[in-house]
Amino acid sequence: MVILLMAGIGLLLFGGIVLLRYPHKPGGKIAIGSLEVSSVGAGLPLIVLGVACILAYARTEQPNLWLPGASTEAPAPSTSTGCFDRYFSDFPPDRQSTVEVGTSDKTVLSASQTKTAPIALLFNENRETFGGITFNVFASDNLFKVDAIIDANCQPIEQYANVSRGGDKNVFQNWDTLQMTMNNQSYLLTLGYSDGEVEVNAFGTFTP
């Protein structure tokens, strides 16, 4: 519909020339809806027609501008990706917990809950989820095994390690600390198993 814009600009320019240089040329009448413009000279109707073409172009290209109360500003980006509900959909509510940065000594699995199914932890900063981890606990051996760690876009990350003892980054003993790097920030997570409960001993940011 760019032709409307070009035609409108052309009519505006031509109408302006006619209006200024030939004010006594025969005019006419233009009616658009309830709006009616008449002129002795030919320039003014041409200008009105040009404006009408430009408005028609604007309405075609930017329809929201014609809606009552519509804003011309782009919508603000969402602070949540919305992927976490889908990613953790296979985990029952009692197998999911959120841990806020700065958390310590928080029970995430009670003594009465089974230890033979995976657990999901969602990492929060000021109540906004920015990542998560899924893991299994092997109570008889006092160890944990990582299944996956994801970032703010629910994409798997590979930058993590057992900083307590090294070795296999997916295996850590009771009270070992896991260091993870996601979203350009490093975090430390310490998990423990005691008296039948699984707890987050500590979770926070790490600055080398």
pLDDT at 54: 66
Q: What's the total number of domains in the chain? A: 2
Confidence of residue 60 (pLDDT cuts 50, 70, 90): low
Whether residue 115 sits in one domain with residue 21: no
Determine, yes or no, domain membership for 76. no
Domain region containing 110: 84-206
pLDDT value, residue 167: 95
Task: Give the per-residue pLDDT at 10.
Answer: 66
Residue 55 lies in a domain: yes
| 194: pLDDT strictly greater than 90 | yes
Q: Where does the chain show beta strands of DSSP type E?
A: 28-32, 35-39, 96-100, 104-109, 119-125, 128-138, 143-150, 160-162, 171-173, 177-182, 185-194, 197-206
Domain presence at residue 195? yes
Please indicate, yes or no, whether the overall pTM of this predicted structure exceeds 0.75.
no
Predicted confidence band of residue 79 (pLDDT cuts 50, 70, 90): very low
Tell me what pLDDT residue 135 has.
Answer: 98
- Per-residue b/e over 86-112, b at no fewer than 16 CB within 10 Å? ebbeebeeebbbebbeebeebebbeee
Decide if pLDDT at 58 tops 80: no
**Residue 71 included in any domain:** no
Please check whether residues 95 and 146 belong to one and the same domain. Answer: yes
Residues 133 and 186 in one domain: yes
Rounded to an integer, what distance in angstroms lies between the CA atom of residue 208 and that of residue 204? 13
Please check whether residues 35 and 103 belong to one and the same domain: no
For the chain, the average pLDDT equals 80
- The answer to whether residues 109 and 175 belong to one domain is yes
In terms of domains, do 199 and 122 share one? yes
Whether the pLDDT of residue 4 is over 80: the answer is no
Residues 56 and 146 in one domain: no
Share of the chain above pLDDT 70, in %: 62
State which of 39, 66, 93 marks the end of a domain.
66
- Reported as a pLDDT band with limits 50, 70 and 90, residue 62 is low
Residue 92 CA to residue 137 CA, distance in Å, equals 16
- Please check whether residues 148 and 51 belong to one and the same domain: no
Residue 17 shares a structural domain with residue 90: no
Q: DSSP states of 108-135 as a string?
A: EE-TTS-SSS-EEEEEEETTEEEEEEEE
| C-beta atoms surrounding 149 within 10 Å | 25
Among the candidates 12, 39, 66, a domain finishes at 66
Domain assignment present for residue 72? The answer is no
Residue 82, pLDDT score: 79
197 and 153 assigned to the same domain: yes
